[in-house]
Amino acid sequence: MRPELASYAASTETSRGRRFKEAPPRGRSEYQRDRDRIIHSTAFRRLEYKTQVFVNHEGDLFRTRLTHSLEVAQIGRSVARHLALDEDLTEAITLAHDLGHTPFGHTGQDALNACMKPHGGFEHNLQSLRVVDVLEQRYGAFDGLNLTFETREGVLKHCSLKNARQLGDVGERFIRKQRPSLEAQIANLADEIAYNNHDVDDGLRSGLLQMDQLSEVAIFRRHMRAALKEFPHIDGRRLVHETVRRMIDTLVTDLVRQSKACIRDAGPQTLDDVRRAPQMIRFSERIRLEQAELKRFLHTNLYRHYRVCRMSTKARRIVSDLFQAFFAEPQLLPPEFQARAREDTPRAIADYIAGMTDRYAIVEHRRLFAIDVS
């Protein structure tokens, strides 16, 4: 049985609908249809071969953008259910939130943004929206996936005022300084819970982080002690997992409790009330500070680890080499992007590069630059 939803949850009845009118789905809700379209998209399958922190070929057990998105969806659904919000909308947003990511994680995004600076810039959030609105080509009647307004506004986590003015309906809230649905707010924090915790886990698995280093971080130390109190004999991967699962549980529980209190205080009745109110999905102050400490630790010790930096340097070079080569000679682009390039060359190149998986980008770089004389 579907639990009764709160009056301020997003719902099919109050939805602002799709850009192109379609008959209502049978046997599933509008937001379930959004989720299904996202799962069947090409961009979603590509997430399997796109980096979070570790490049895909560095090991089979590290998170990729696909497994990351699934973890975010799991956490998001749990929170949405506890708060009597629409789980399917949260799930659709979480599964789509990283569709616009370039190869090689944040390094790839920064490199592409640098190349695109004179041409309007590149931002992965906007690109995720562009993927679902324009770039997926699967339906006869329209470009993109024609998702509901609520899923699209959730995918567009943030954007500049300049871009917001060009985006029409989904840009409005940035101009009016309003919030998106609670389902979208959940997706945002579920993302944070997922990556902080899996980066700890992957960091330890890779050997770039050590347990004794991590025990300097309050939230990790507290949960490792709790795990050892219950299971004094465990160590290694089992101890890591027992610690990380306790951290995730604490964060989800705290998020639900604090958000319930915020919703009670603000007293929204409708989704429009939610949009006008301050952000209501939030951690308690104590947990927010602990999360900030963990983030700082990961920045210093994992994201700036020399082995991660070496890969980032190569990734940056690959992305900017590819961009320069296509910009100098757009005829090197595959035919479908050449057609797009006739309208806007830099944007067509950015779309092509952003759609690449890590290994495709590496292979494409080799195809364009390796001089094989044998």
Interface positions with Mg ion (CB under 5 A)? 98, 191
Which of residues 97 and 365 has its CB atom nearest to Mg ion in the complex? 97
Close Cβ partners of 169 (under 8 Å, ≥ 6 residues apart): 16, 149, 153
Which CB atom, from 88 or from 191, has the smaller least distance to Mg ion? 191
* One-letter amino acid of 308: V
Q: Which residues pair with 180 in a beta bridge?
A: none
CB-wise, 190 or 219, nearer to Mg ion?
A: 190
Within 13 Å and on the Cβ side, how many CA atoms surround 5?
Answer: 19
| Contacts of 277 by beta carbon, 8 Å cutoff, 6+ apart | 179, 266, 268
Q: Shortest gap between Cβ of 260 and Mg ion (angstroms)? A: 25
Tell me if residue 34 falls in helix, strand or coil: helix
Nearer to Mg ion, 66 or 350 (CB): 66
- Tell me if 86 sits within 8 A of 11, measured CB to CB: yes
Q: How far is the CB of 285 from Mg ion (least distance, A)?
A: 24
Site of tokens 């320069």? 324
* Closer residue to Mg ion in complex, CB, 33/50: 50
User: How many Å apart are CA 320 and CA 231, to the nearest integer?
Assistant: 50
Amino acid, res. 301: N
Q: Residue 108 Cβ, how far from Mg ion at the closest point, in Å?
A: 14
Q: Name the token pair of 366.
A: 């080799």
Residue nearest to Mg ion (CB): 191
CB burial class (10 A; 0-12, 13-18, 19+) of residue 264?
exposed
DSSP code of residue 101: P
* Of 66 and 333, CB closest to Mg ion: 66
**Min separation Cβ 182 and Mg ion, Å:** 19
CB-neighbour burial class of residue 322 (10 A; exposed 0-12, middle 13-18, buried 19+): buried
Comparing CB distances to Mg ion, the nearer of 8 and 104 is 104
Output the smallest distance, CB 317 to Mg ion, in A: 25
Per the document, the length of the chain is: 374
Distances (CA, A) of 184 to 92, 224, 331: 10, 31, 40
State the minimum distance, in angstroms, from the CB of residue 52 to Mg ion: 8
CA 80/CA 10 separation, integer angstroms: 11
- State the nearest-atom distance from the C-beta of 125 to Mg ion, in Å: 10
Quick one: which of 352, 68, 51 has its CA closest to 193? 68
Residue 353 contacts residue 126 (beta carbons within 8 Å): no
Closer residue to Mg ion in complex, CB, 97/246: 97
**In the bound complex, what is the minimum distance in angstroms from residue 154's beta carbon to Mg ion?**
13
Shortest separation between residue 147's beta carbon and Mg ion, angstroms = 18
| Nearer residue to Mg ion within complex by CB, 29 or 128 | 128
